[in-house]
Amino acid sequence: MQGGWLIVVASIAYLGVLFAIAHYGDRRADAGRSIISRPSVYALSLAVYCSTWTYYGSVGRAAASGIGFLPVYLGPTLMMSLGWFVLLKMIRIAKTNRLTSIADFIAARYGKSQLLGGLVTVIAVIGTIPYIALQLKAVSESFTLLLHYPEILMPARGEALPWIRDSAFYVALILAAFTILFGTRHLDATERHEGMVAAIAFESVVKLLAFTAVGLFVTFGIYDGFGDIFTRARALPALARLLSLGGPSGSASGWFALTLLSMMSTLLLPRQFHIAVVENVDENHLRRAVWLFPLYLLLINLFVLPIALGGLLYFGVGGGDADTFVLTLPMATHHPGLALLVFIGGLSAAAGMVIVETIALSTMVCNDLVMPLLLRLRWLGLTLRADLSRLLLSIRRLAIVAILLLGYSYFRAAGEAYALVSIGLISFAAVAQFAPVMIGALYWKGGTRAGALAGLFAGFAVWTYTLLLPSFAKSGWLPAGFIEHGLFGVALLKPEQLFGLTGLDEIAHCLFWSMLANLGAYLGVSLARAPNAIEARQATLFVDVFRLTQASVGAGLWRGRARVEELLPLLARFLGPERAQAALAQYADSRGVAKVALLQADADLVHYAEHLLAGAIGSASARVMIASVVEEEPLGIDEVLNILDEAHQVRAYSHQLEQQSQELSAATAELRAANLRLTELDRLKDDFIATVTHELRTPLTSIRAFSEMLFDDPRIDLADRRRFLGIILAETERLTRLINQVLDLAKIESGTAKWACTEVDLREVVAASVEATGQLFKARGVALEVALPATLPSVVADRDRLIQVMMNLLSNAVKFCAAEVGRVTVAIRREPDYLWVDVVDNGPGIRREEQILIFEKFRQGGDSAVSGKPQGTGLGLPISRQIIEHFGGSLTVDSDPEQGRIGARFSFSLPLAAGAMPT
């Protein structure tokens, strides 16, 4: 293309558009009307995961290994389904503790260790540099290609231009400039860059559209749809191999390693951590991102294979660098406009990745590496400087430039030897080293600072030896001998077959050994010693983040003296005087204190100040700075554990309280029921007393009436007197009987009755009763028949009580039989376990509805028509039933006058005495 300037102008214009969006986003954010407070924007910004690796590299990977390009996108999909737990927890922890980078996160968890923060930063920077080099390589290659349009001039391998003529160098500089513009215009205590996030979301849309445009063009423009491409590919053996598993697509271990690596990278790459955790505005946005981000990945991968196959078909196998097919296909078919769009899309992908990655890295370098070192150098007098916020910004800007130049150096050193994806995987393996300490930070309270240091160091060392150094060696930067023959010629130390391990590809090999060393050291060293006070505290703050409120633990774990006059200048030094003043004023306002000067420098305020500082210079440095102006009394491990215990106990108490209140309400319900029952019983008792007094009054009235007549009239003749006295006597007897029976019933019911239980022969009981009531029968002229078996087993019962029951039944029977024609039969039946005594009469019978009533107290059966005035007390049957039931039997009545049956049959049963022999 003659218009080299056109490409440059278009590129700068596009970056300018991105910057304009960022600027607009920042202004809206300052005005309080954020444009990124939408879940879709958050999901799209996560797509910064797709860099030029995806944009150019996937096609190259697919052309070489078929489906082997996909695990890198399946991993994030799987990870996001766990994102609901893992990512949410990371976001919550980072927010409550104001953590602004992955180094800060890990350092804070393991006791706010500056050393650990520094180590994480070093690993992140060194590990990510190949990845940045990848972007530079992709952009400069695509630029060079486009520049020579319509010729397709593949960049010559191994023949490097001097850096002054190397487009990659300028790409690095331009990207550095834009990153500085995006990320370090001012210092933010939360490290939030809303505008940048908006730009990244936009950039994600652009690269997806551009890539899909090429995909559609290749599939439907050059070829005739998917089917056409696949049919043509199957015709060529070299291409057909790419369509199935096995061979070039890699082994099971390789597939597994790539999936695992990409899962970890989804959260642990500095830029992913930054976008997903630090820039998260609202935890609820995660909902959408969980499925929208994987959907984005699926869409951007749809056309990878068609483009790869299309390129291979078009240029022939080995006819061109497959990493550039996305660009060279439109060029070769003479579509300069589409080619320019592709270039812009690639630039977009690279810019997004580089901007976010270097901003995240520069924050780490500044907060966790440079500042701690500078603050230690007392001769610089930094601790005395009034305003360090400008210095912080300068350090970050320098760090951005340095990181990009390092990326460029790596590109010059090793970039040519590798395909894009292979370079990227080196970085993935590096950040995977954070996984054990990160997972431990979220879920394990036993991890210690020493353990984390040991794990990271061991993993990083193995990664360097098995992956990074070989990449240098393969590009001729190091002697290749140590790959071929091992270090010092020791075959066991061959970096790609360490200790003789073969059969794995280099990534899986490195992953296995580095994870083994990393996890082993982390766990081993952590378990060697119990966590100290600050480690235990931070562990609780992290692991229990959903259960603790910051106030309950954070400030509670600090004891000491401080003065506002010292805290304010400290904050002003790092945040700038206005921001510090504003932050403290806001704090005073929330506490209801009128002026900052009146604030009490208590634990809460110190904690708040440390938080503010942590946002600006990292939690480890913040702690050191706060400690410099505050007289802190160190807390012992016991005290920390006590305070944590208290927090736990408070939770336990509240749980207990809840439980108790539940029990209480259950008890209340029980009491209410009991009360209801008591009221009912009380009513029954009142009824009973009313009935009893009524029953008592009837005979009393008649006694009184006859006595009065006798008393008032002395002239009543003797016969009448005798008759009256006879009635009085009878009524008195009835009264006595009634009272005895009431007492009897009360005794039985209250369980205080005395039972003299012996083995009883029922025949004898019947005989005795019959004899006792014989006079009654004679008097009324009622016939009595007794049919008793010859032998009968005995029962255990109280003989007198049984006679009482028998006599009650007999007297009832005789009472209701008609005189002279009446007939009563007594019989004893035998059943396997019971003896039955039947008393049958030929009286009027008892109607069905009365059959229940007669067993109730003071209810008497029978029509007065037959029997006249009731003669009993109404307590005989109830008492009899109580007695029989006490012995384990039952008292029933069988009668059916409605059906024309004559008479009634009363029966009671008694259980046979265990092992009773017939007598």
Partner 1 sequence: MNRSRLTGSRLIAIFLLGCVLLNYPLLPLFGGSAVIFGMPLLYAYVFAVWAGLIALMAIVIERSG
Measured from the CB atom, the residue of 298 and 671 that comes closer to partner 1 is 298
Q: Which residues of 85-99 are buried (b: 16+ CB within 10 A; e: fewer)?
A: ebbbbbbbbbbbbbb
Tokens of 332: 């070769």
Q: Which stretch binds partner 1 (CB under 8 A): 193-201, 227-235, 438-446, 504-512?
A: 227-235
Q: Is 105 exposed, middle or buried (0-12, 13-18, 19+ CB in 10 A)?
A: buried
Measured from the CB atom, the residue of 13 and 238 that comes closer to partner 1 is 238
Q: How far is the CB of 83 from partner 1 (least distance, A)?
A: 8
**Site for partner 1 contains 727 (CB under 8 A):** no
DSSP-derived secondary structure letter, 465: I
Q: Which stretch binds partner 1 (CB under 8 A): 128-136, 222-230, 367-375, 403-411?
A: 222-230
Measured from the CB atom, the residue of 259 and 433 that comes closer to partner 1 is 259
Residue 402: CB partners within 8 Å, gap ≥ 6?
Answer: 365
Tokens of 527: 């378990």
How many angstroms separate the CA atoms of 25 and 919, rounded? 109
Measured from the CB atom, the residue of 230 and 477 that comes closer to partner 1 is 230
Q: Which stretch binds partner 1 (CB under 8 A): 240-248, 536-544, 549-557, 679-687?
A: 240-248
Q: Which residues of 729-765 are buried (b: 16+ CB within 10 A; e: fewer)?
A: eebeebbeebeebbebbeebeeeebeeeeeebebbeb
Measured from the CB atom, the residue of 185 and 232 that comes closer to partner 1 is 232
**Site for partner 1 contains 77 (CB under 8 A):** yes
The answer to whether the CB of 880 falls within 8 A of the CB of 891 is yes
Q: Which residues pair with 835 in a beta bridge?
A: 830, 910
Q: Which residues pair with 909 in a beta bridge?
A: 836
Got the DSSP string for 707-762? HHHHHH-TT--HHHHHHHHHHHHHHHHHHHHHHHHHHHHHHHHHT-----EEEE-H
**Site for partner 1 contains 262 (CB under 8 A):** no
Applying CB under 8 A, among 4, 40, 231, 689 the residue interacting with partner 1 is 231
The candidate with the shortest Cα–Cα distance to 97, out of 530, 631, 620, is 620
**Site for partner 1 contains 259 (CB under 8 A):** yes
Q: How far is the CB of 88 from partner 1 (least distance, A)?
A: 10
In Å, the largest CA–CA distance within the chain is: 160
- Helix-then-strand count for the chain, H and E: 39, 9
Q: How far is CA 112 from CA 55, 348, 506, 547, 629, in A?
A: 39, 37, 35, 21, 18
Single-letter residue type at 877: L
**Site for partner 1 contains 244 (CB under 8 A):** yes
Q: Using CB under 8 A as the criterion, what x/- string covers residues 289-328 for binding partner 1? A: -xx--xx--x---x--x-----------------------
SS (H, E, C) 310-330: HHHHHHCCCCCCHHHHHHHHH
Applying CB under 8 A, among 6, 12, 85, 377 the residue interacting with partner 1 is 85
Q: How far is the CB of 128 from partner 1 (least distance, A)?
A: 27
Q: How far is CA 774 from CA 143, 308, 400, 767, in A?
A: 133, 121, 125, 10
The candidate with the shortest Cα–Cα distance to 422, out of 414, 433, 432, 431, is 414
**Site for partner 1 contains 243 (CB under 8 A):** yes
DSSP-derived secondary structure letter, 556: G
How many angstroms separate the CA atoms of 452 and 441, rounded? 9
The candidate with the shortest Cα–Cα distance to 465, out of 420, 502, 499, 442, is 499
Q: Which stretch binds partner 1 (CB under 8 A): 286-294, 583-591, 748-756, 891-899?
A: 286-294
Applying CB under 8 A, among 226, 314, 477, 512 the residue interacting with partner 1 is 226
Q: Which residues pair with 320 in a beta bridge?
A: none
**Site for partner 1 contains 255 (CB under 8 A):** yes
Measured from the CB atom, the residue of 242 and 728 that comes closer to partner 1 is 242
How many angstroms separate the CA atoms of 833 and 842, rounded? 29
**Site for partner 1 contains 74 (CB under 8 A):** yes
Q: Using CB under 8 A as the criterion, what x/- string covers residues 838-857 for binding partner 1? A: --------------------
Q: Is 690 exposed, middle or buried (0-12, 13-18, 19+ CB in 10 A)?
A: exposed
Q: How far is the CB of 429 from partner 1 (least distance, A)?
A: 19
DSSP-derived secondary structure letter, 918: B
Q: Which stretch binds partner 1 (CB under 8 A): 230-238, 555-563, 596-604, 697-705?
A: 230-238
Q: Using CB under 8 A as the criterion, what x/- string covers residues 424-443 for binding partner 1? A: --------------------
Instruction: Provide the pairing of β-strand 904-911 with 891-895.
Output: antiparallel
Provide the strand spans (E) within 18-116.
none
Q: How far is the CB of 204 from partner 1 (least distance, A)?
A: 17
Measured from the CB atom, the residue of 297 and 814 that comes closer to partner 1 is 297
Applying CB under 8 A, among 84, 163, 443, 653 the residue interacting with partner 1 is 84
Applying CB under 8 A, among 148, 287, 780, 859 the residue interacting with partner 1 is 287
Residue 562: CB partners within 8 Å, gap ≥ 6?
Answer: 601, 605, 606, 629, 630, 631
- Four-residue CA torsion sign, 570, 572, 576, 582: positive
Q: Which stretch binds partner 1 (CB under 8 A): 244-252, 416-424, 451-459, 649-657?
A: 244-252
**Site for partner 1 contains 391 (CB under 8 A):** no
Helix or strand or coil: residue 837? strand
**Site for partner 1 contains 246 (CB under 8 A):** yes
Measured from the CB atom, the residue of 291 and 855 that comes closer to partner 1 is 291
Single-letter residue type at 189: A
Measured from the CB atom, the residue of 176 and 305 that comes closer to partner 1 is 305
Measured from the CB atom, the residue of 77 and 842 that comes closer to partner 1 is 77
Q: How far is the CB of 81 from partner 1 (least distance, A)?
A: 4
Measured from the CB atom, the residue of 236 and 730 that comes closer to partner 1 is 236
Measured from the CB atom, the residue of 222 and 392 that comes closer to partner 1 is 222
Q: Using CB under 8 A as the criterion, what x/- string covers residues 34-73 for binding partner 1? A: ---------------------------------x--x---
How many angstroms separate the CA atoms of 145 and 689, rounded? 114
**Site for partner 1 contains 700 (CB under 8 A):** no
Measured from the CB atom, the residue of 255 and 908 that comes closer to partner 1 is 255
**Site for partner 1 contains 230 (CB under 8 A):** yes
Measured from the CB atom, the residue of 244 and 662 that comes closer to partner 1 is 244
Measured from the CB atom, the residue of 452 and 515 that comes closer to partner 1 is 515
Q: How far is the CB of 449 from partner 1 (least distance, A)?
A: 31
Q: Which residues pair with 840 in a beta bridge?
A: 825, 905
Measured from the CB atom, the residue of 263 and 327 that comes closer to partner 1 is 263
**Site for partner 1 contains 234 (CB under 8 A):** yes
Helix or strand or coil: residue 907? strand
How many angstroms separate the CA atoms of 288 and 227, rounded? 34
Applying CB under 8 A, among 252, 627, 650, 787 the residue interacting with partner 1 is 252
Site for partner 1 in 100-159 (CB under 8 A): none
**Site for partner 1 contains 256 (CB under 8 A):** yes
Question: 116: number of CA atoms within 13 Å, CB side?
Answer: 31
Applying CB under 8 A, among 4, 16, 150, 227 the residue interacting with partner 1 is 227
Q: How far is the CB of 514 from partner 1 (least distance, A)?
A: 21
Measured from the CB atom, the residue of 17 and 439 that comes closer to partner 1 is 439
Site of interaction with partner 1 (CB under 8 A): 67, 70, 74, 77-78, 80-82, 84-85, 226-227, 230-231, 234, 240, 243-246, 252, 255-256, 259, 287, 290-291, 294-295, 298, 302, 305
